Amino acid sequence: RTADIGVVGLGTMGSNLALNIAQKGFTVAVHNRTIAKSFALRDDNPGIGDNVVPADSLEDFVASLKTPRLVLFMVPAGKIVDDEMATIAPLLSAGDVMIDAGNADFNDTIRRSKAVEETGLQFVGMGVSGGELGARHGPSIMVGGAEATYGLLSPILTRIAAQYEGEPCVAWLGPDGAGHFVKTIHNGIEYADMQMIAEIYGIMRDGIGLEPKAMAAIFEDWNTRGLSSYLIEITAVTLAETDPETGKPMVDVIVDEAGQKGTGRWAVIEAQKLGVGATTIEAAVSARGVSSRRSERADAGALYAGIATQAGGFAGDAAGLAELEEALETAKIIAYAQGYATMAAASQEFSWNLPLAEIARIWRAGCIIRSRFLDDIARAYDSGETVVNLLQATDFVARVSAGQGALRRIVARAMLAGIPVPALSAALAYLDDYRRPRGTTNLTQAQRDLFGAHTFHRLDKDGVFHHQWPAV
């Protein structure tokens, strides 16, 4: 029997993606280092398993594929991808396609594309979002590679992707690293979104004194309006959960140390390289870093126990909660604007011509940051107006103007109370910096010119100038 596609790597994501493909009526060959896993995938999934073709060897796996062969790798990012590809490549023929569907660093994807394409094979770097359930029932898929190669994959991808009102959440976004770059920014935004929600939770807990169950009800309510999203939905679910062992709220027994696998950090690094301030993402990545130094924080807490803060500014009544909601919504717009600005800059830098509206559309379902709000972003890019930055799009100017007061008051109060809000405050600072026609880097330029003759431009005439500063 010949298979439409092969999946290498049967971890949770790989297995679920293979089952998703099989369920949609395609025949999928599977390969895993532990061969038994391939057979288990077929045997443990009655019905769907009929479309799963396990193989005894790598040779059999390759032989079972229709040509041109489509081989999808779902293995941990890094060297393992190179190793797996190097093992299989010699068994493939010109025109066959290797697809890296893991969370790859897009710089690796560009390198791999070049290396693979020199051998006559084709390469696709594909971001897949939606976690385990997304992979199984419909992820959001961000594809980078040659457009013609995408044509070979699209019959399968459009069927396995999440559907938003009948539109599949998959798109070809550009050559080589474009798909993985967009996935990286998706994750950066995911980090910022999660951090800002956690900061609001911190205000509810330490500023208002709410219990997790009460917070759950609030987030559930927020999920019916502008903030409606998967992340707000799961926030309500997690806050409502009780630990079966202690009877306490589940969140109260979980250690406050967040892990990370690196994609958020990649997003910040790439934004920095492109000269874009993705400060909300940076704040989120840093906050995870600080969180992981738990015993150090305990010691610092003791050292600063005596400092005075001004608690008591937050209110848990309807007006107080509405203000929190508005602040979060406003900061969220700014965080997404930073993520989109990073993609716009990359698009220029790498001549990708990234379809920014399409990216918002394929993020509306399936992925972790899926939300109603992404439809608004798609509309802004589709409206016909030139969108230099989402913060300049007509709809968002109105929304940010209306909401910035709430964000300002929440951030100010949190700062006075000593409740950390690194991402919310980064959002506000970015807005204030971005909307200020006359900044302060004129002073920076003067300093640079003084100590290093770095030169400067003048407001009143064209050219490059150096001033004879007094000797210091």
Q: Given the rule CB under 6 A, which residues bind ligand 6PG?
A: 103, 129-131, 187, 190, 259-261, 263-264, 367-368
Identity (one letter) of the amino acid at 55? Answer: A
First to last CA, the chain: 81
Cβ proximity to ligand 6PG: between 238 and 260 the closer is 260
> How far apart are alpha carbons 121 and 118 in whole angstroms?
7
Is 296 one of the annotated active-site residues of the chain? no
- Phi and psi dihedrals of 163, rounded to 5? -115, 130
Cβ proximity to ligand 6PG: between 131 and 277 the closer is 131
What are residue 98's DSSP bridge partners?
71, 123
Residue spans of alpha helices (H) in 89-138:
106-118, 131-137
- DSSP code per residue over 357-395: HHHHHHTSSSSTT-BTHHHHHHHHHHSSS--SSGGGSHH
Longest CA span, the chain: 83
- DSSP code per residue over 36-63: HHHHHHHHTSTTGGGGEEE-SSHHHHHH
To the question of whether residue 389 is assigned a binding role by annotation, the answer is no
Q: Could you tell me the smallest distance in angstroms from the CB atom of residue 31 to ligand 6PG?
A: 22
Q: Could you tell me the smallest distance in angstroms from the CB atom of residue 127 to ligand 6PG?
A: 8
241 DSSP 8-state letter: -
To the question of whether residue 34 is assigned a binding role by annotation, the answer is yes
**Strand positions, DSSP E, 32-147:** 52-54, 70-73, 97-100, 122-129, 140-144
Identity (one letter) of the amino acid at 39? Answer: F
Q: State the DSSP H helix or E strand holding residue 9, giving kind and residue range, or none if neither.
A: none
Cβ proximity to ligand 6PG: between 51 and 109 the closer is 109
Cβ proximity to ligand 6PG: between 242 and 260 the closer is 260
Q: Could you tell me the smallest distance in angstroms from the CB atom of residue 259 to ligand 6PG?
A: 5
Annotated catalytic residue, options 24, 37, 84, 183 = 183
To the question of whether residue 442 is assigned a binding role by annotation, the answer is no
**Strand positions, DSSP E, 201-346:** none
To the question of whether residue 75 is assigned a binding role by annotation, the answer is yes
Cβ proximity to ligand 6PG: between 64 and 129 the closer is 129
- Phi and psi dihedrals of 143, rounded to 5? -105, 135
Q: Could you tell me the smallest distance in angstroms from the CB atom of residue 192 to ligand 6PG?
A: 12
> Pick from 406, 424, 372: which is nearest to 223 by CA?
372
Annotated catalytic residue, options 24, 37, 190, 326 = 190
To the question of whether residue 205 is assigned a binding role by annotation, the answer is no
Q: Could you tell me the smallest distance in angstroms from the CB atom of residue 412 to ligand 6PG?
A: 30
Cβ proximity to ligand 6PG: between 131 and 202 the closer is 131
Whether the bond into 68 is cis, omega within 30 of 0: yes
> How far apart are alpha carbons 282 and 122 in whole angstroms?
35
Q: Could you tell me the smallest distance in angstroms from the CB atom of residue 461 to ligand 6PG?
A: 50
What the block records as the tokens of 274 is 């492109």
Is 37 one of the annotated active-site residues of the chain? no
To the question of whether residue 13 is assigned a binding role by annotation, the answer is yes
To the question of whether residue 32 is assigned a binding role by annotation, the answer is yes
How far apart, in Å, are the Cα atoms of 105 and each of 91, 126, 184, 287, 289?
A: 26, 11, 8, 22, 20
Cβ proximity to ligand 6PG: between 121 and 359 the closer is 359
To the question of whether residue 46 is assigned a binding role by annotation, the answer is no
For ligand 6PG, the nearest residue by Cβ is: 129
Whether the bond into 168 is cis, omega within 30 of 0: no
Q: Could you tell me the smallest distance in angstroms from the CB atom of residue 187 to ligand 6PG?
A: 5
Which residues are catalytically annotated? 183, 190
**Known binding-site residue numbers:** 9-14, 32-34, 75-77, 103, 129-131, 186-187, 191, 261, 288, 448, 454
**Known binding-site residue numbers for substrate:** 103, 129-131, 186-187, 191, 261, 288, 448, 454
**Known binding-site residue numbers for NADP(+):** 9-14, 32-34, 75-77, 103
